[in-house]
Chains A and B, each alone.
Chain A
Amino acid sequence: MTFVKRYLIPRLIQYVLVIWLGITIVFLIPRITPNDPVMRMIGELRGRGSTLEPGSMDGIIRDLTEMYGLEGSWLDQYWAFWGRLFRGDFGVSFFQFPTRVNKLIATAMPWTLGLLLTTTAITWTLGNIIGGLAGYYSRRSWSRVLDAVAMVVRPLPYYIFAFMLLLIFAYVVRWFPITGGAPLGAIPTFTWAYIRSVLWHSTLPAASLMILGGAVTFQTMKLLVQNINAENFVQYAKLGGVKESRIVGKYIIRNALLPQITGLALSFGQIFSGALITEIVYGYPGLGMLLYRAIINGDYNLIMGITIFSIVGITTAILFVDLTYPLFDPRVRYI
């Protein structure tokens, strides 16, 4: 009960407050920028040649304001927003009117989750295993080669690296497609042929994320393991004749994993923001471009819809790590 009273309940209150504060800030920020969604749509329509006679502009502004639900004060809009949110409704997208925000997110989310959950999990797992081994066996030649490769790859700007992969594998050897998440004309179906084509299209985006991300995880883990390997308790264990596998697994890797677990949780939380540059280079669908376009167009409801996932995702991931940390680190106690 002490844990519940002294830690869990205050932590859960903090969790709810952080989410509320995050959502409120995201509600306010687009409204204090000079990007008015009504004006943005008028500018867009006017720029695209639609019939917007100067003399009828007041009427158009009035109609759009009403249609977007932007009448009334910010406070009125704020209450209306929370009312909708509790019903699980983010409202309509202004720029993609009258498409609902829920639908837009539901369409893009599987692509982002499919790509980023997989690549984050694989990158983290492989990066840590290989980095851990390379750190422990840091004098071996293969460890040095891997370290050298990581040193070369890691500083490369992501855009350049992603485009280099595209150039080599989509143009020079032509193993993979140049753009898109699926072939032209392919309609999404739950068939092996479609799934295979999606995997084929995802290979380069995934590879670009995994190689660069993996290099970072590898180097971080390698350095952590090298440092822990030099600690007295590890030396003592070695001198004490503890089995090498036990030293590596229980003494070194377990300790080195602690900051990596926090990093993993944050990475999972950030998935909901999408991978904008990946989406741009490979023409891959996802939340990144949806969010970018929403910000550019002052599409308040869509910004709110996507960022709420991000805020809740990151906050929940941190809460999860906080609560489960004692499982990974016996030194941590909440009572």
Chain B
Amino acid sequence: MKESRKKLSRREFLRSAAVFTTAMVATACTTPTPEIIKEREEVPIEVTRVVEVEGERVVEVEQVVVTATAEPAPPKEQAPAVLGTFPRSETFIARILTGRVGSPDNFNFWVGWKWNDRGLQNLAAEPFWTVDFATGDIINGLADGDPTYNADFTECTVPLRKGVAWSDGEPFTAADVVYTVEALKEYSGFNAHSFFVDNVDEVTAVDDYTVKFELTKPNSRFHTTFLDRWGCTRIMPKHIFEKEEDPVQFPFNPFVGCGPYKLHSFDPQGSWTAWERREDWDKSPTGIMYGMPKPKYVIYQYFADEGAQILAQLTHQLDVAELSADGLKALLAQSKTSRAYQPTFPYVVNNDPCITGIRFNTARPPFDNVDVRWALVLAIDIVEYTSIAVDSSGTLSAVHVPHLGPYPRDYIRPMQDWLKSFTIDVGNGETFAPYDPTAPQRVADYARSRGYIFPDTPEFIEQAFGLGWYKYAPEIAEKLLLKNGFSKNADGKWLLPDGKPWKISFMSGTVLSNHDARNAAAAVQQWKKFGIDAEMYATEHGDGLQATGDYDVSGGWPAQEPWGAGPDLYRVLDLWNSAYIRPVGERTQGHYSRWSSDEMDAIIKELRETDPFDTEAVIAVGTEGLKEAVRNMPGIPTYGYIGFVGWDEYYWTNWPGSENPYTQPYTHWPNFKYTTPFLQPTGM
């Protein structure tokens, strides 16, 4: 039987193709119209947070009212119930920060780099202690309290938590700790091998839940090797590793840890790693402290492209997106269910324990001259600077620690009087007080003048913009340079003391949305305006070039990042120790600024000899360290690190936002496992 078929003429075909193409373009052009909500309203919300009652952590639920952008409209469409092979409503999806996993079937994170943020550190592993920079607390994980040292800091004893089991059901005991330290000492392939060889003479189990380290030399901060701040020495399950002939080559697949999640599956291409809540989650420190994690599955997925992240969240296939400033704006404008860390401007996550800024190579003239460094500080108008760098959304800090966690209370507020009275010698008997406590208000006023709406209370201004920074004083900067033999040519450009044009090459990485490049762009603009021939130099090899001293100025951390919790600044100050400095051309072991001073060495020595748990003494010494850094300005602290996080409230709510910062807000930090019991499913 001959089938009757209508023939499509060429004209009809072309006409149909044209109509189809037009329809596709028209459809693409009719995506939801960007809707930037500027109205604020008082929104009652229920928050769950952790409070300490008589030393115990207790979870409490409270009704609070927050100022927020208008409540997101109800979702207009139903998302798929199953994503891949996972029930979507029981699954939490976040992004792998550090990219596609290169060795997806190897979980031995004591050797090299194993993409620990794919769920290893943040779900499945448990350290002794973890810093929580949102609360300023140190959370006990496998440890049952603080360590204790003997008088000369040559012995350190750690109490361990009882009732913890590995995810394969074996109990966690001191034997695991002893095995770990002995294995790290024995095999040179482990990252921490040299540290433990250098520092630990012997480790013993006093009993099943107490471990004692006998140290090779006094070290009052030895315990911090077990303090998780996006990485630390973690404990191996002895019953698994002791069976391996070569634990360095052992891939440790499947991963076994003491965290509340166990390995479910992974993509051999490294695109995703899936974790499943343990049936015995109550035998993990997370479960013991905070209760059952709410998501049954957590998936860490790789997104190479920011656009793909945004599209994934708009279609509810990604619960947490980490974006650029523009990416976050686009997401919030398009999404009806996404929210940022802060409900109003500046929206961004502004509590991250890193201070961004400008790093000088003090081994290279003229940056070896403190007057030159201060001149470059005073040539910066911080209002313009933060506008260029981060659209006025950074929290300023005039000292070398960020304005978050315990630091405003312990250091920045108490140092205000000193900062106000601090002067620099401009020459000819003239001094100048560079500190400007009105800088945050000036940044806030500028942001408001650009149409941003946010609360006007002193508390909010401090939280969002900090307590102060330095004056814009180009005339003083000029005096400092003239004092040191610099001069200006007929074009108003600065010349070095030898008469050659002063050029500054500002090194940054190649990802222009990162804060090193943001600081570079802002500083270069400001210094050009001041008459210096400054330029940005983006390279992929920044770490090696800075480590060997082959650079002028960079956007690297102006000081080592602090712990983010507790008052101790040893981590910040010790990297300026002169003992670590190596000649230019060799990799320095200390801070890449290669700066040190006898005064700072003395402060570091005093801090080493101070009990880290003697809060008052630690703060006193730490304050002196910060003052010495301000006087010498080896790097310019500008604004605290900010993150551009978008949370989708379609499936999960009760995020640790600025109105409810019960814990740190990132999914790649080790503390994310402590967030999981507080996430609330929406029942979608």
* Given contact pairs A111-B269, A280-B305, A51 touches B233 in the complex (Cβ within 8 A): yes
In the complex, are the beta carbons of B231 and A50 less than 8 A apart? yes
In the complex, are the beta carbons of B195 and A52 less than 8 A apart? yes
In the complex, are the beta carbons of A48 and B116 less than 8 A apart? yes
* Given contact pairs A53-B195, A104-B102, A296-B540, A41 touches B113 in the complex (Cβ within 8 A): yes
Bound: A44/B197 CA distance, A: 22
**SS class, residues of chain B in contact with chain A:** loop
Q: Does A178 contact B (CB under 8 A)?
A: yes
Contacts of A282 in B (CB 8 A): 308
In the complex, are the beta carbons of A168 and B193 less than 8 A apart? no
Q: Does B543 contact A (CB under 8 A)?
A: yes
Chain A residues 100 to 125 lying within 8 A of chain B, measured CB to CB, are 104, 107-108, 111
* Given contact pairs A142-B10, A170-B311, A283-B304, A97 touches B111 in the complex (Cβ within 8 A): yes
Contact with A along B575-594 (1 / 0, CB 8 A): 10101100000010110000
Contact with B along A82-102 (1 / 0, CB 8 A): 000000000001011111000
In the complex, are the beta carbons of B195 and A40 less than 8 A apart? no
Contact with B along A9-40 (1 / 0, CB 8 A): 00000000000000000000000011110011
Q: Interface-forming stretch among B80-88, B369-377, B394-402, B478-486? A: B80-88
In the complex, are the beta carbons of B198 and A39 less than 8 A apart? no
Contacts of B267 in A (CB 8 A): 180, 182
How many residues belonging to A are interface residues under a CB distance threshold of 8 Å?
74
A179 CB to closest chain B CB (Å) equals 5
Contact with A along B247-276 (1 / 0, CB 8 A): 011000000000000000101111110100
Q: Does B544 contact A (CB under 8 A)?
A: yes
Chain B residues 582 to 640 lying within 8 A of chain A, measured CB to CB, are 587, 589-590
A-B contact count (CB 8 A): 213
Contacts of B274 in A (CB 8 A): 184-185
Contacts of A47 in B (CB 8 A): 543
In the complex, are the beta carbons of B268 and A34 less than 8 A apart? no
Q: Does A335 contact B (CB under 8 A)?
A: no
Q: Interface-forming stretch among B23-31, B132-140, B438-446, B653-661? A: B23-31
In the complex, are the beta carbons of B84 and A185 less than 8 A apart? yes
Bound: A49/B564 CA distance, A: 13
Task: Tell which of B113, B269, B315 touches A174, judged by Cβ atoms closer than 8 Å.
Answer: B315
Bound: A281/B189 CA distance, A: 36
* Given contact pairs A53-B198, A166-B311, A283-B308, A36 touches B544 in the complex (Cβ within 8 A): yes
In the complex, are the beta carbons of A63 and B305 less than 8 A apart? no
Bound: A54/B197 CA distance, A: 14
In the complex, are the beta carbons of A57 and B102 less than 8 A apart? no
Bound: A48/B274 CA distance, A: 22
In the complex, are the beta carbons of B304 and A49 less than 8 A apart? no
Contact with A along B308-321 (1 / 0, CB 8 A): 10011011010000
In the complex, are the beta carbons of B540 and A181 less than 8 A apart? no
A298 CB to closest chain B CB (Å) equals 8
Q: Does A247 contact B (CB under 8 A)?
A: no
Q: Does A258 contact B (CB under 8 A)?
A: no
Task: Tell which of B195, B249, B271, B587 touches A56, judged by Cβ atoms closer than 8 Å.
Answer: B195
In the complex, are the beta carbons of B303 and A179 less than 8 A apart? yes
Bound: A50/B14 CA distance, A: 62
Contacts of B544 in A (CB 8 A): 34-36, 39-40, 43
* Given contact pairs A49-B229, A96-B102, A283-B305, A56 touches B198 in the complex (Cβ within 8 A): yes
Contacts of A142 in B (CB 8 A): 10, 14
Bound: A50/B232 CA distance, A: 5
Task: Tell which of B28, B230, B248, B272 touches A98, judged by Cβ atoms closer than 8 Å.
Answer: B248
Contacts of A67 in B (CB 8 A): 188-189
Q: Does A55 contact B (CB under 8 A)?
A: yes
Q: Most chain-A Cβ atoms within 10 A of its Cβ — which of B192, B301, B575? A: B192
User: What bracket does the count of chain B residues touching chain A fall in?
Assistant: 35 or more
Contact with A along B544-565 (1 / 0, CB 8 A): 1101101000000000000000
In the complex, are the beta carbons of B31 and A171 less than 8 A apart? yes
Bound: A48/B304 CA distance, A: 19
Q: Does B57 contact A (CB under 8 A)?
A: no
In the complex, are the beta carbons of A184 and B301 less than 8 A apart? yes
In the complex, are the beta carbons of A48 and B231 less than 8 A apart? yes
Q: Does A164 contact B (CB under 8 A)?
A: yes
In the complex, are the beta carbons of B191 and A50 less than 8 A apart? yes
Q: Does A332 contact B (CB under 8 A)?
A: no
Q: Does A188 contact B (CB under 8 A)?
A: yes
Bound: A108/B307 CA distance, A: 24
Nearest residue, chain B, Cβ from A33: B541
Q: Does A266 contact B (CB under 8 A)?
A: no
Q: Does B414 contact A (CB under 8 A)?
A: no
B138 CB to closest chain A CB (Å) equals 15
Q: Does A59 contact B (CB under 8 A)?
A: yes
Q: Does B447 contact A (CB under 8 A)?
A: no
Chain A residues 142 to 195 lying within 8 A of chain B, measured CB to CB, are 142, 145, 163-164, 166-168, 170-174, 178-188
Contacts of A168 in B (CB 8 A): 24, 27-28
Contacts of A62 in B (CB 8 A): 194
Bound: A166/B100 CA distance, A: 20
B549 CB to closest chain A CB (Å) equals 12
Bound: A54/B272 CA distance, A: 34
Q: Does B352 contact A (CB under 8 A)?
A: no
Q: Does A230 contact B (CB under 8 A)?
A: no
Contacts of B580 in A (CB 8 A): 54-55, 57
In the complex, are the beta carbons of B269 and A181 less than 8 A apart? yes
Bound: A140/B243 CA distance, A: 76
Q: Does A214 contact B (CB under 8 A)?
A: no
In the complex, are the beta carbons of B111 and A98 less than 8 A apart? yes
In the complex, are the beta carbons of B86 and A184 less than 8 A apart? yes
Task: Tell which of A40, A170, A279, A283 touches B543, judged by Cβ atoms closer than 8 Å.
Answer: A40
Contacts of B195 in A (CB 8 A): 51-53, 56
* Given contact pairs A60-B191, A283-B303, A172 touches B28 in the complex (Cβ within 8 A): yes
* Given contact pairs A51-B195, A172-B31, A173-B27, A283 touches B541 in the complex (Cβ within 8 A): no
Nearest residue, chain B, Cβ from A111: B269
Bound: A55/B225 CA distance, A: 13
Contact with A along B179-219 (1 / 0, CB 8 A): 00000000011011111011100000000000000000000
**Chain B residues within 8 Å of A, Cβ to Cβ:** 10, 14, 24, 27-28, 31, 83-86, 93, 98-100, 102-103, 106, 111-113, 116, 188-189, 191-195, 197-199, 225, 229-233, 248-249, 265, 267-272, 274, 299, 301-305, 307-308, 311-312, 314-315, 317, 540-541, 543-545, 547-548, 550, 574-575, 577, 579-580, 587, 589-590
22 A–B contacts, CB within 8 A, in A order: A39-B543, A39-B547, A41-B112, A43-B547, A49-B229, A51-B232, A53-B195, A55-B589, A61-B587, A67-B188, A67-B189, A97-B112, A98-B249, A111-B269, A164-B28, A166-B307, A181-B269, A184-B301, A185-B265, A187-B265, A282-B308, A283-B304
4 new A-B contacts, CB < 8 A, other than A50-B231, A167-B28, A182-B267, are A49-B229, A56-B199, A57-B194, A283-B304
